[in-house]
Amino acid sequence: MKYVIVGGVAGGAAVAARLRRNDEHAEIIIFEKGEYISYANCGLPYYVGETIKDREKLFLENPSTFKENLNIDVKNNHEVLSIDKINKTVKVINLTNSNITTESYDKLILSPGATPIVPPISGIDSNKVFTLRNVPDADKLKAAIDNDKPTSAVVIGAGFIGMEAAENLYDRGLNVTIVEMANQVMTPLDYEMAAQVHEHLKFKEVALYLSDGVKSLKDLGNRIEIELQSGKRIFTDMVVLSIGVKPLTVLAENAGIDVNRGIVVNEFLETSAKDIYALGDAAEMKHGITGKNAIVPLAGPAGKQARILADNLVYNSKKPYKGAIGTSIAKIFDLTVATTGLPEKSVEDSLSVIVNGSSHAGYYPGAMQLFLKLVFDKEGKLLGAQGVGYEGVDKRLEMIAAVIRMGGTVNDLTEVEHAYAPPFSSSKDPVNILGFTAENVLLNRSTHTKWHELNEIITTNNPDYVLLDIRTVDERELHPLSGTLQMDKSEVRSNLEKIPKNKKIVVLCSGGLRAYLTERILRQEGFKSVSILSGGLNIFFSS
Ligand code: FAD
C-alpha cells in the first residue's frame, strides 16, 4: 500500500508515524512545502519569548530521523500543486529547484493545516507586521526583537495565539497593546469570564482596545502608525497580526473535493473523493456537541484524528472520530484560561452557573481562587465549561471535558470522583460544587441572577427588586455598592422583618456561597422570590 501525505507537521507527521507502526511494509511519503516537519507550533510563542531558549527543542523529528527511525520518506520543500483523483496521482514542485514531478498514491491524506488571515488593509505588507504560524514566522519575529530592539508592540486579535504572543512580547520587555474587534478577549469565553482576563491585563499594564478594529497601517520608517476604526491612533515598533486562521482548502477545492469552510469529511475522516482523507486544521467535520459541521483548529484533535485514520486505513476498520468539542487552554500572563464545549452566548435557552472555587483546600497554604462556569440545558445535559484562575484550572476543565465528551449531565458532575488530599483539592472538588450548584438550579432550589441582569436592575433602578448585600463591613468598604439593603450574613435570621416580602430579593455576596446559604434561609422563611448573583460580586465588579 502506498500512502501519500500532504503536510508534515501535527496531523501529517502523526498519521505517518502511526501508519508505519501499523504497517511495516507500506510505502509512506510525506510532502511538506516548508523546510521543517514535526515541530511544536504550540511552542513557537515561548521560543519568541525565550522561555524556550534552545531552538532545537522545537523540533521533534526531522526528515533524516523520520527516515532512520520510521522508514518514512519526507520530501520537505516540496509543495503539492494538484490532485488527479481519476489517475490517483499528485503533481509536486520541488521548491529548491522548481522541478515538477508526479507521484502516484493508493491513499492520499491531506493535512495542509491553515494559514493566518491577513486582511486587505493598507500598510499590512510592512516588514514591521508579523504573523506567527510556523518556524520561519517565529524566526523572523524573534530576529526583529533581537536585532531591532523594539520597545513596543501591538497585537491585533485577542484569540489564544494573540494572547500568547502578547505575553511573550511582554516577557521580552516590550510595552504591549492589544487591539480586538470584539468587546472581549478570547471569544470562546462568555463575557464575564473574559472580564477576569481584562482585569488581569490591566494589572499587567497591557493596554487593551476592545470593540475596535484596525482601519489602516502606515510604515513611518522607524515606527508604524495604526489607525483604528474609532479614529484612535497608536504608534508602535512592531505589529503581530493574529486575527484567526483560514483552512488551506485550495488543493481539495481544485480537485473537486467537497469543501465548505474546510475540507468536508465524515466521521471516518473520508472526503467526498474515494481514497482521499483529510484531518487537522483544514478539515471540517461534525462538532462533538452540536453535530453541526465545524472546524476546531487545535493540535489535540489533529493527533487523535491521525491515530483513528491510520488504524482504519491499515486494519480496514471503521472506528469513528466522534468530533472535537473545542477543549483548549492558554496561559495568559499569570492566569490560566480554559474552555470546553459551547459558551452560554452561543446556545439559546441554555442555563449556566458560576462558582468561585479554590485550587485546593483553603486551610492548606497557597490555595488560589478560580472561577468556573458551567453551561447546560434544561434537562441537565452538559454543553460547556470555562475556567479562569491561577492554579488547578486545567484539571477541572479536563475533568468536565471528559464528562461532556461522554455525553454527561449535571448529575454526573455531582458524583465525579476526584483524587483528594488537601494540597490538591477539597473533599468536594470545585467540579462537584459546580455540579451541586447546577443541580440546585435545575431542581429550583436556587435561582441565579446573571451579572448583566443585576446591571440592568441597578441602572434602571428597578423598584420591583431589593438587593440584599450580606457582605461584611470591610468587604463593602473595599467594593462599595449603593442602593442595597445591607446586613451581614450573620444578622439575616434575626432581621427578617427588615426584608420586604413583596419584592424580588437578589442576595449579593462576594463569591456566591454566603448568598446561597441566605437564599435557603429566606425561601424557607416564606420569601417567594429570592435569587443569588451568579458568581458573586467578584464576577460582577470586573464585568
Ligand atoms: P499544521 O501543523 O499547520 O501542518 C500543516 C503543514 O502542511 C504545514 O507545515 C504546511 O506547510 C504544509 N502544507 C500546506 N499545504 C501544503 C502543500 N500543498 N504541499 C505540501 N505541504 C503543504 N493547538 C493546541 O491544541 N494547543 C496549543 O497550545 C496551540 N498553540 C498554538 C500556537 C501557535 C503559535 C500556532 C500557530 C498554533 C497553535 N495550536 C495549538 C494549533 C495547532 O498547532 C494546530 O491545530 C495544528 O498544528 C494543526 O495541525 P495540521 O496538521 O492540521 O496543520
Distance, first Cα to last Cα, the chain: 57
**Whether the CB of 44 sits within 6 Å of ligand 1:** yes
**Whether the CB of 34 sits within 6 Å of ligand 1:** yes
- Give residue 265's Cα distance to chain centre: 23
The residue contributing the CA closest to ligand 1 atom 53 is 113
ipTM of the prediction: 0.99
Pocket test for ligand 1, best of 115, 117, 163, 298 (most atoms within 8 A of CB): 298
CA of 246 relative to ligand 1 center, distance in Å: 11
C-alpha cell at 519: 437564599
**Whether the CB of 79 sits within 6 Å of ligand 1:** yes
* Contact between 201 and 194 (Cβ < 8 Å): no
Please give the number of the atom of ligand 1 that sits closest to the Cα of 298: 45
* Element housing 438 (H / E): helix 430-442
Place of cell 521533534: 60
CA of 113 relative to ligand 1 center, distance in Å: 5
**Whether the CB of 31 sits within 6 Å of ligand 1:** yes
How far apart CA 340 and CA 164 sit, in angstroms, is 19
How far apart CA 70 and CA 67 sit, in angstroms, is 5
How far apart CA 415 and CA 393 sit, in angstroms, is 19
Pocket test for ligand 1, best of 47, 168, 281 (most atoms within 8 A of CB): 281
- Of residues 40, 42, 368, 402, which has the active-site annotation? 42
Per-residue pLDDT of the chain (543 residues; tens, 9 = 90+): 999 999 999 999 999 999 999 999 999 999 999 999 999 999 999 999 999 999 999 999 999 999 999 999 999 999 999 999 999 999 999 999 999 999 999 999 999 999 999 999 999 999 999 999 999 999 999 999 999 999 999 999 999 999 999 999 999 999 999 999 999 999 999 999 999 999 999 999 999 999 999 999 999 999 999 999 999 999 999 999 999 999 999 999 999 999 999 999 999 999 999 999 999 999 999 999 999 999 999 999 999 999 999 999 999 999 999 999 999 999 999 999 999 999 999 999 999 999 999 999 999 999 999 999 999 999 999 999 999 999 999 999 999 999 999 999 999 999 999 999 999 999 999 999 999 999 999 999 999 999 999 999 999 999 999 999 999 999 999 999 999 999 999 999 999 999 999 999 999 999 999 999 999 999 999 999 999 999 999 999 988
**Whether the CB of 281 sits within 6 Å of ligand 1:** yes
